[in-house]
Every structure is written in C-alpha cells, then in structure tokens.
Amino acid sequence: MDGAARPGATMLVRYGEIGLKGANRKAFEGALKRRLEEAAARAGAAGVTRVRLAHGRIYVDCEEADEDTRERLLAALTRTFGVVSVSPAQRVPLEWPAVVEAAEALGRRARLAGARTFKVEARRANKSFPKTSPEIARELGAALAKRLDWPVDVQRPDAVVTVEVREWIYVFAETRPGPGGLPLGTGGRGMLLLSGGIDSPVAGWLLAKRGLEPVAVHFHSPPYTGEKALEKVRDLCRVLAAWCGPVELFTVPFTEVSQQIYERAPDPLGTVLMRRFMVRIAERLADRAGAQALVTGESLGQVASQTIESIAAIADVATRPILRPLVGLDKAEIVELARRIGTYEISVRPFPDCCSVFVPRRPATRPKVEDCRRAEERLDVAALVEAAVAGAAHERLEAWPAFSARSSRTDP
C-alpha cells in the first residue's frame, strides 16, 4: 500500500539529475530524503510528516498537518536542493467517486485563483484500476466541466488537473518548481568568504545548489565596521539557512591585518594583499570546519581585485581549490539571482564597510605574484594569521521562522 495507511495529503517531490547517477543513486536519494526531512522540521512539520521513497519519486505524506503548516512545508520543500518540482496532492483510494471529489475540490480552488480553463491528464501505473488513462481524462474532464461550469481547453489550459494511479491515486492541480541541483552535502563542504555585499551570498547559494554545504567566514574590522554591519552578515546567513539549514559563521577580526598592510606595504597592492590574508585565514578555518574548498563571489573584471592577474595573485597562497561560481556572470545576472534567493534586500542595506580608509588610492589592476611575495616579507604574516584565527568567533545561524513561511517571494 505504498507505505501510507490512510487517504490524505501528500507532496509529490520530483528530482532530476540524481536519478541518473547509477551507482551513487542510492546514496543521493538517501541524502535528499534526509534533507527533505530537515526541511520539514524547519517548516515546523517534523512530527506530522513522513518522507518515503518510491517509483523514482519522494512522497512526503502530511495529512495531519494543518493548512498553514502544509504551505510552509511546500515552501521549504521547494527550497531544497535536488528538488526539481513539488506537487501538493490529495491521496485517495482506488475508487472513482473519491477521485472526482478530490479533483472537484482542487478544481474549485484553481477556478477561484483565476484559472479560466483546464484539462485533465491521467497516468495509470497500476493496471488493476479499471479505467484507462484516456478514460480517466475524458470522464473526469466531463465531470469537472459540468460540476464547476469550467471550460475545457486541451491546447492551452490555465490549469492542469493530474491523476496518477498507483497503489493510491494522487490528484493535483499545481506544480511548483524547486531549485534543482543536488542534495546538500553530497558535494562536500566549502568555506564561503561572505562579505555582506551582493555577490558572495549568491556564490554560496550556487554551490550549495551543487551539493556543497557552505560554511561562512566574515572578516570584520572593528571599529571601522560596526555591530550593525556584522548583523547584516548574520542576516545573510539566516537567508541562506532557509535553503541550506543552519549555517555556521566564523567572524574574524581583520583590523590588525589591514593596518599592518596599510603601514608597511606599497599602496597599490593593499587590496590584493588583504585578499591573500583572507584566503590564508579562511584555509585555517577550513581545516577546523572540515571544508575542502574555498568559495568566493569573484566575478571576472568586476573590480580591480578581480582581474585575472589579481585572481592569480590571490590564488597563489591557497592550497585548496578556490571555487568562483560567479566568474562568468554579469552584475545584472547576479542581482537577479540575489533577488530570487532573498539576499538582495539585505545586501543593499546601508551598513557598509567604512573600512574605506584602508582601500588603496590607486589599486594595482595587474599585481604580480612576485611583488606580493616581496611585499609580504615586510609583514608578520604568520603572526597576523595566527592572531586572526585565534580571534575568530563561531556561531550557528538558523533561518528566521517567518522566512520559512514565505512561499514564493523571499524577502527578509
């Protein structure tokens, strides 16, 4: 009986790529199932849902969840990486009147929501049900058209009422897209350099979509940056947490590093040297957090520190791969993603780094690795890194409850 005991509500979760991965398939499905269970818990639906795998789908039964909880659950599921789409369905026994009744309720709701026309699609996987797929479509279409006074349009319907016949019959009229990608954690862990700007949260999100669990590190420069700037970074983590589950954040005191570079190094190299320190410190914290890669929001050519020469000079100090998912994106594309993820409104909040005091007057756009290394001979590199790592604070940030409740738009 599909594992479900009684009729009720089920979210039909479809996943794409992980179905293709041959030998790894079981591991991926297991990971996705766990992530969906966590998402259900974040939505406050832990005790009222059951996640089960069958027929290359994941079924999330939630008949005991109330309407609000189901809506939160749907939002959380469509924010789970690896999910291609989710359909909130009614699960009914193999009895024709029950199918018609469930379809009528869904159809009435779709009509109210503005669907002027509809059609019925049917798939009969369970041949013990007496009606064939075309029969189901034709007869249910006729019944709904009559009962709801609802015109059928098989070419371009506003709504599609779908009937899937398995050991239960699933009826649904709505399918919401998920983010796609791969289940979180199947790609390992990545240390995300999170600045508070628009780019870096998007970079973290894109790789999380590929299964890389983000751990965030933020460099702050008190008193040049204030507590509100730090809170902005925490809020960005809270938004990411709505997609990824709780996000770990390291906050690293960076003032001493900036000051020593400012005092002892050539002005044009200031930015690239700071970035080299950030990479060194992030790598140390990556050891601690078990992260195999660094993730940055660099986009080629966006600012002086993001020319190919700068990127090379920065990568010179790294021992891990530095992943730069935004490298080929334009600013407008990044902004669009940030809006979709829900980080944009936070990133543009005006608590900036007034750290501009340490920004070079004329930053080098083509810094040479050799020049960077020579400049660092005059700095206490090891001691500065050590002090910054020792001063790092660690916290774990969870999604705002209100955030999980939003279904489509994801404003903070």
- Taking CB under 8 A as the binding criterion, the range among 46-54, 138-146, 175-183, 252-260 that sits at the site for another protein is 252-260
In the beta sheet, which residues pair with residue 252?
A: 219
Of 132, 183, 167, 131, give the one whose Cα is nearest residue 59.
Answer: 167
| DSSP category for residue 254 | -
The count of residues interacting with another protein (CB under 8 A) is: 34
Considering only the stretches 150-158, 220-228, 273-281, 328-336, report the one whose residues sit in contact with another protein under the rule CB under 8 A: 220-228
Tokens of 299: 């986009």
Of 66-74, 182-190, 208-216, 217-225, the segment contacting another protein by CB under 8 A is 217-225
**Cα dihedral 308, 312, 313, 317 sign:** positive
Query: Can you tell me the distance from the alpha carbon of 24 to that of 393, in angstroms, rounded to the nearest whole number?
Result: 37
Q: Closest Cα partner for 358 from 243, 238, 269?
A: 269
Q: Is 412 in the site for another protein (CB under 8 A)?
A: no
Q: Among 7, 179, 253, 363, indicate the residue that binds another protein (CB under 8 A).
A: 253
Q: Which one among 55, 374, 396, 411 touches another protein, defined by CB under 8 A?
A: 396
Cβ of residue 219: shortest distance to another protein, in angstroms? Answer: 13
Helix axes 270-289, 308-315, angle to 10 degrees: 50
Q: Report the residue number, 260 or 306, with the smaller CB distance to another protein.
A: 260
Q: How far is the CB of 352 from another protein (least distance, A)?
A: 4
Q: Please give the C-alpha separations between residue 136 and each of 122, 162, 163, 165, 411, in angstroms, as whole numbers.
A: 6, 10, 8, 10, 41
Q: Is 303 in the site for another protein (CB under 8 A)?
A: no
Is residue 394 part of the contact set for another protein (CB under 8 A)?
yes
List 263, 332, 382, 408, residue binding another protein (CB under 8 A): 263
**Shortest distance (Å) from residue 383 CB to another protein:** 16
Sequence-separated (6 or more) residues with CB below 8 Å from residue 51: 33, 36, 37, 40, 58, 59, 60, 61
Window 314-373: residues binding another protein (CB under 8 A): 350-359, 361
Q: Angle of helix 199-209 relative to helix 331-341, nearest 10 degrees?
A: 70
Span near another protein by CB under 8 A; candidates 109-117, 137-145, 204-212, 222-230: 222-230
295 binds another protein (CB under 8 A): no
Q: Which is nearer to another protein, 327 or 359 (CB)?
A: 359
> Using the rule CB under 8 A, is 105 a contact of another protein?
no
Among 221, 226, 157, 215, smallest CA distance to 191 is for: 215
Among 52-60, 157-165, 204-212, 263-271, the segment contacting another protein (CB under 8 A): 263-271
Residue 298 Rama label (left phi>0; alpha psi -120 to 50; beta)? beta
Kindly state the smallest distance separating residue 405's Cβ from another protein, in Å: 20
- Regarding 200 and contact with another protein (CB under 8 A), the answer is no
96 or 262: CB nearest another protein: 262
Q: Please name the residue ranges forming H helices in 222-264.
A: 227-244, 255-264
| Residue 354: alpha-carbon gap to chain centroid | 30
Region binding another protein by CB under 8 A among candidate stretches 89-97, 121-129, 224-232, 284-292: 224-232
Residue with tokens 């409850």, as numbered in its chain? 401
User: How big is the CA angle at 299 (ends 389 and 391), to the nearest 5 degrees?
Assistant: 10
Binding residue for another protein (CB under 8 A) from 47, 222, 321, 401? 222
What does the binding site for another protein look like in residue numbers (CB under 8 A)? 222-227, 230-231, 234, 251, 253, 255, 259, 262-264, 266-267, 350-359, 361, 391, 393-396
